[in-house]
A and B are shown apart, each in its own frame.
Chain A
C-alpha cells in the first residue's frame, strides 16, 4: 500500500476539534493538579504528623495504581454515589488527582531544597509562620520547580490520550474515528504520533524559556 497523507486533508478540521478538546482538558487538569499538588506538598512538609501521613498515603496510592484503573474507578464509581459527571468532567477530575500526586512530589522537593538560612531570616524578621510560608517558601519553591513541573505537565498531555477510553473524543478519540472512516489507520496514527511528539517538544521548549525568565536573577544557581 502507498503511504499517502493527502487522505487526511478532509478530516483535518475534525482532528483539530479533538486537539482543542485535549488542550482544554489538559489546561484544566494542569490547574487542578497544580493546586492539589501545592496543597499536598504543603501538607507533606507540615509539622502535623496526621497531615503528613494522609498526604503521603494519597501520593503513594495514586502513583502506584495505573491511570486507566483510576479513570474507570471514577467513571463507573461516581454515578453509584449519586454524582453524575460527564466524560469530560470525570476525565479532568481523574487527570487532576493523578497529576496532583506527581506534582506534589516535585513541589515538595522544591520546598525541601530551600536553605534553612532563608527561613531563619524570615523568622528573625518577625514574620508569622503563615506569612513565611506563603510569601517566602512557596514563591521560591515554585520558581525552582518550574522545569520538573513541566515534565509532569508533558506527562499529563500524554496521559490525556487515555481519556479516549471513556468515550471522550479528544485528539486520540477523534483520530480513532477518522481511522475507521478512512480505513487508513497507519497514516492516521503515524501523523498522530508525530503530532503528539511535536506538541510535547514545543511545550518543553516553552517551559525551558519560562524557567529561565522566572529565575533570571539567580541564573548561575539553577541553570
Chain B
C-alpha cells in the first residue's frame, strides 16, 4: 500500500525539516561569525604567514561551489584521512567555513572603513593595539557591517538547502521525500519555498532592527 495522499503528519515533517534547517543555520552562522572575525583580527595584527594563509583560504572558499566543498568534506576527507563523518558533521564544517570566508571579507572592509586618524589618535592617547580594536574599531565596524552581514545571512540560509544532497534531513530533503511520495510537486515545492521565504524575511527583518539599534547613536535627533 502506498500513501499517496497528504496527511496531517506531513506538517510535522515539514516543521521538523524547518527546525533542522534553522538549527544548522544558527549554529553555522555563529561559528562562521566567530571564525571569520578571528581571521580578520589575524589580518588586523598583520601576523606573518597566517595572514597570507587566511586570505588564500577565504579566496578559495569564496570562489568555489558550496556543493563541491560539501562533497570534498563528506566524501573526500573520510576516505583520505580514514575518519568517520556524519552528514551533519560535514554540513556543520562546510557551512561554517563558507560563512567564515564571507564574514572575513565583510569584517576586513569594515575595519578598513574606519579612518586611520582615529586609530592614530587612540594610539597617541596610549591605548594598546588590543584596546584600539576593542573600544574604537569594533563598535563602529559592527555598525558598518550589520547591513552586509544581514544580506550574507539571508544568502547562507538558502545555501543550507544544499546539505540535503548529502542526506541531512533538512527542509529541502523533506520536500524531496514528500514530492516522491505524493507526486504533487507544485504543492510540495510551493510549501517548502514559502517556508524558506518566510524564514529569509524574518532574518532580514531582525537584521534591519539590529541595524537601527546599532546606528541609533548617529541618528538625526532633531534640534
Contacts and interface: CB of A to CB of B under 8 A. Distances in A.
Nearest to A1: B80
Interface stretch (B30-38, B59-67, B126-134): B59-67
Given A64-B154, A66-B172, A197-B63, A172 B185 contact: no
Contacts of A61: 197
Tell me the interface secondary structure of chain A in the complex: helix
A218 interface: no
Interface residues of A, number: 41
Contacts of A154: 63
Contacts of B190: 73
Tell me the interface secondary structure of chain B in the complex: helix
Contact of A172 (B67, B82, B157): B67
A64 B185 contact: no
A5 to B, nearest CB: 13
Interface in B80-111: 80-82
Interface in B171-215: 172, 175-176, 179, 185-186, 189-190, 192-193, 196-197, 200-201
B162 interface: yes
A190 B60 CA distance: 11
B145 interface: no
A165 to B, nearest CB: 6
B193 A200 contact: no
Nearest to A196: B64
Interface stretch (A41-49, A121-129, A179-187): A179-187
Interface of B: 59-60, 63-69, 71-72, 75-77, 79-82, 154, 157-162, 164-165, 172, 175-176, 179, 185-186, 189-190, 192-193, 196-197, 200-201
